Structure 1
Amino acid sequence: MFIPPMLLEYAADNKPFDDDNYITELKLDGIRLIVSNIDRVRLYTRHNNEITANFPELVDSIPVPKGTILDGELIVLGSDGKPDFEAVMERFKSRKSNHKAVFCAFDIIKNKYIDLTGMSLLKRKELLEIAFEENEYYSRSRYLFGNGVRYFEQVKQMELEGIVLKNKNSKYLIDKKSYSWQKVIAYEMGEFYLAGYKKNEFGWLLSDGNRIIGNAEYGPNPEERRAAYPIFQQLKVDESKDAVYIHPTIKCLVKHRGYYKSGMLRLPIFERFIL
């Protein structure tokens, strides 16, 4: 049985806050997963793609009885003990991958066939705590009250993805975004050159001065797009079927989620031109 998960909003200005009415959790860098054990064990992504066959180890080791639906994140820990997004995607695409996948539950939607969505988050956390014993493939997310600012600084120092701040009294809102759940992402900032743009969809190509290392699909406002276009035409040096390339002289500030192992930027977002 699939239940569309509750979704997060960005905290205002992507900044953490201290509020004892909120719990603070680590934002895990993986794949959102609904683990359902109603008629049998089924695994679903947040978009209702059933991937049960991809992870037989999660089916065989499920620690919750029938009548339970869990919400959480599927992760793979790297050699440094941090969630490794590339590794979890590799494991997602192939059962032959040697990466060990772990499901970390942070909420419980059904327990003993009872719908828990109308209960407060704290009550659901209490029920989650007693719903199952952890094993090598299943764990539970830990949390603390308030302390969002200090915890976020520690997360940034450890180069983790970010934090989630959740109202302790919030109900579980199926398939809805809510400011009851707010995410704060530990973006990295960097200066890069604009090296071109995509033809068939919006995207500004980014260069480190030597090669193209990213495509900023988000960030610039309509005025910035309009102002940049005639300048791009003056700087044009080449084009392909999919992109126009320009001489990399325009510098910009970009926030991103680090680098892939290939050296490409992960999720770059244009912030502003550097004049």
Structure 2
Amino acid sequence: MFISPMLLETAPAPFSDPRYIFEPKIDGHRLIFSQQNGIVRLYTRHNNDCTRQYPEIASAQFPHDVVLNGEIACVDPLTGVSDSESVMSRFQAKKSDMITQLTGRLPVTFVVFDVLSYKGKDLRKELLIQRKEILAGLSLPNANFGVIPFIESAGEALFTQIQARKMEGVVGKRKDSAYYSRRHSAWQKIINWTYADVFITGYRKAEFGWLAAVQTDKCAKIRPAGIIELGANPTHMKAFYGVVKPLITGEDRDFVYVEPRIRARVKMRNWTKKGLLRSPVFTEFII
């Protein structure tokens, strides 16, 4: 049984509030675990069946039927932090032999943070704190399952710890919230952004996108670092296109290339293993 997940709004800054609980934000992908009549199915947030990709989760059996909401994580044993690229390697594997190989090499953990149905009862109208009590009482079927910890009230203190560990962020949830299968302000995320200064080396001809590059050494060499697709408003775009024409050096079917004279600051989730900006968001030009 698929249940559309409750999605997060974005808080402008870390906050503390006695009406909320606060959890670490796991860097993976959302998963709905459904066990109905003893049959387990796994779904992404967009209702894509991913049961085959995670045999260590799909093979689990609870004593009673249950629908759980959580995050698939692939935890680095050295840092204790989930590695999103490893998660994507698992998710994108489709062939049986590759799935078997990756299950041994990159085992996943299903980090559960909510229970939506249990023993045939729909729990979505129950208060979050009551659903948490039910979740805490479940016996987990194997070592690939975990329940996310939470604290009450002290969101800012938790965010400080998350920053120190270089984790993705914090989620604040109203204790008295029901479960809404849509984006709702009762659940809010605070992202632990990383910042970088980049050069803009080109722009996409079709939909918006600025090519970004970063300096690699003291000799001022630069290398490609990805595409900025978010954050620039009409004022930023007007300023950019108003000065970029004399800097054009060439073009191809998709991009116009420019001299690396325009600099910008971006915020991002982190650096990928290939040295690219992950989900960069433009914040300002650097003059």
TM class by shorter chain equals over 0.9
Any conservation in 2 of the 1:37–1:65 contact (CA below 8 Å)? no
The one of 189, 193, 203 aligned to 2:195: 189
The runs of at least 4 aligned residues of structure 1 exceeding 6 Å deviation read none
User: Is the 1:196–1:232 contact (alpha carbons within 8 Å) kept by the matching residues of 2?
Assistant: no
Q: Which runs of 5+ in 2 are unaligned?
A: 94-98, 216-221
Alpha-carbon distance in structure 1 between the residues aligned to 2:139 and 2:245: 60
Unaligned runs of 5+ in 1: none
Alignment partner, residue 88 of structure 1:
87
Greater displacement, 244-253 / 120-129: 244-253
1:156-197, Cα deviation, whole Å (9 max, x unpaired): 1110000000000000001x1111000000001111111111
User: What amino acid is the match of 1:90?
Assistant: S
Cα distance in structure 2, aligned partners of 1:141 and 1:135: 15
User: What is residue 69 of structure 2 aligned with on the other side?
Assistant: 71
- The reply on whether 1:154 has 2:152 as its aligned counterpart is no
Partner letter of residue 92 of structure 1?
F
1:240-273: CA deviation from partner (whole Å, max 9, x where unpaired): 2211111011111110111100000101000011
Query: Normalising by structure 2, what TM-score?
Result: 0.92
TM-superposed CA distance for 1:92, in Å, is: 1.5
Q: Against the structure 1 CA distance between its residues 141 and 93, is the aligned structure 2 distance closer, same or farther, given a 3 Å change threshold?
A: same
Percent identity between matched residues is 39
2:229 aligns to what?
217
What's the counterpart of residue 17 of structure 2?
A: 19
For the residues of structure 2 that align with 1:158 and 1:245, how far apart are their CA atoms?
38
In structure 1, distance between residues paired with 2:239 and 2:285: 11
Matched, 1:38 2:29: no
Contact residue 267 and residue 283 of structure 2 kept, 8 A: yes
Q: Is the 8 A contact 2:60 2:141 kept in 1?
A: no
TM-score (structure 1 length as normaliser):
0.95
Shift of 1:134: 5.8
- What RMSD in Å do the two structures reach over aligned CA positions? 1.2
Deviation of 1:230 after TM superposition, in Å, equals 3.1
> Could you tell me whether the CA contact under 8 Å between 1:61 and 1:137 is conserved in 2?
no
| 2:185 matched residue in structure 1 | 179
